[in-house]
């Protein structure tokens, strides 16, 4: 895992991708469905993925999903390994390629970009929140994702779209994520 840009924490989309890629090593990616990932804090060291909680393990991330017909539950815990690498992350390129419609609380992007679906959606939702809720003070954080299936990328030209569908007292939102107008799930942001 690597820090992105000037961040001193691991980004939720990277943690999600790493966890799902780890599962995809053991199971066919097409068998991983009904994904529900919840972030309980920010990771600043390496993470280990466990199938069972231990008394000393403080779960930073919980991942539930179906693999075939079996329900699975995993936790990710910080393991103390230092993050030694950093990569550039041009989030502004995702935002610049996004058409934001404030009145409809919708953001759409059709440009081919070198980012995964979840990286794009999270950047788009963050930009959309800053446009739709300009008077709210704080930092919008990705705290939960619920997806029908696992798929990192779509071949261009794919239309990525996010639509804010619920605002819970200006503290949390639920946003639908779509590819080519097909809903694939929801992501939740919290104002910290």
Q: Which of 49-53, 127-131, 146-150 has the lowest mean pLDDT?
A: 49-53
Same domain, 80 and 130: no
**25 and 52 part of one domain:** yes
- Mean pLDDT of the chain, nearest integer: 92
The pLDDT value recorded for residue 153 is 66
Instruction: Say whether both 142 and 176 belong to one domain.
Output: yes
Give the domain-ending residue among 71, 86, 101. 86
CATH code, domain with 158: 3.10.129.10
Q: In the chain, what's the furthest Cα-to-Cα distance?
A: 48
Domain end, chosen from 86, 118, 149, is at 86
Same domain, 122 and 185: yes
* Domain boundary, last residue among 86, 114, 130: 86
pLDDT grade for 114, boundaries at 50, 70 and 90 = confident
Tell me the mean pLDDT in the region 164-179. Answer: 95
| Cβ-count burial 66-100 (b if 16+ within 10 Å, e if not) | eeeeeeeebbbbbeeeebeeeeebebeebbebbeb
* Region 33-44 average pLDDT: 96
Whether 65 and 101 share a structural domain: no
If one counts the domains in the chain, the total is 2
| Contacts for 155 with CB less than 8 Å, ≥ 6 apart | none
Give me the mean pLDDT over the 59-86 stretch: 94
Cα 13-62-55 angle, rounded to 5 deg:
135
The whole domain housing 70 covers 3-86
Alpha helices in the chain (DSSP H): 12-26, 91-96, 117-132
Residues 47 and 138 placed together within one structural domain of the fold: no
pLDDT at 56 over 80: no
Report d(CA 69, CA 33) in Å as an integer.
Answer: 9
Residue-wise pLDDT tens digits, 88-106: 888 899 999 999 999 999 9
- What's CA 186's distance to the chain center, in Å? 10
The model's pTM: 0.92
């Amino acid at each position: 895992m690597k820090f992105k840009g000037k961040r001193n924490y691991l980004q939720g989309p990277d943690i999600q991708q790493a966890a799902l890629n780890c599962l995809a090593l053991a199971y066919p990616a097409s068998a991983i469905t009904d994904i529900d990932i919840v972030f309980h804090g920010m990771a600043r060291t390496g993470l280990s993925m466990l199938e069972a909680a231990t008394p000393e393990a403080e779960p930073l991330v919980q991942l539930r999903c179906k693999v075939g017909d079996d329900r699975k539950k995993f936790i990710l815990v910080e393991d103390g390994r230092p993050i030694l690498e950093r990569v550039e992350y041009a989030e502004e390129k995702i935002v610049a390629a996004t058409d934001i419609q404030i009145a409809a609380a919708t953001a759409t992007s059709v440009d081919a970009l070198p980012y995964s679906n979840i990286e794009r959606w999270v950047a788009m939702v963050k930009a959309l929140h800053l446009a739709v809720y300009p008077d709210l003070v704080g930092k919008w954080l990705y705290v939960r994702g619920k997806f029908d299936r696992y798929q990192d990328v779509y071949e261009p030209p794919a239309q990525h779209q996010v639509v804010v569908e619920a605002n819970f007292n200006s503290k949390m939102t639920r946003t639908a994520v779509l590819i080519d107008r097909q809903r694939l799930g929801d992501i939740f942001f919290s104002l910290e």
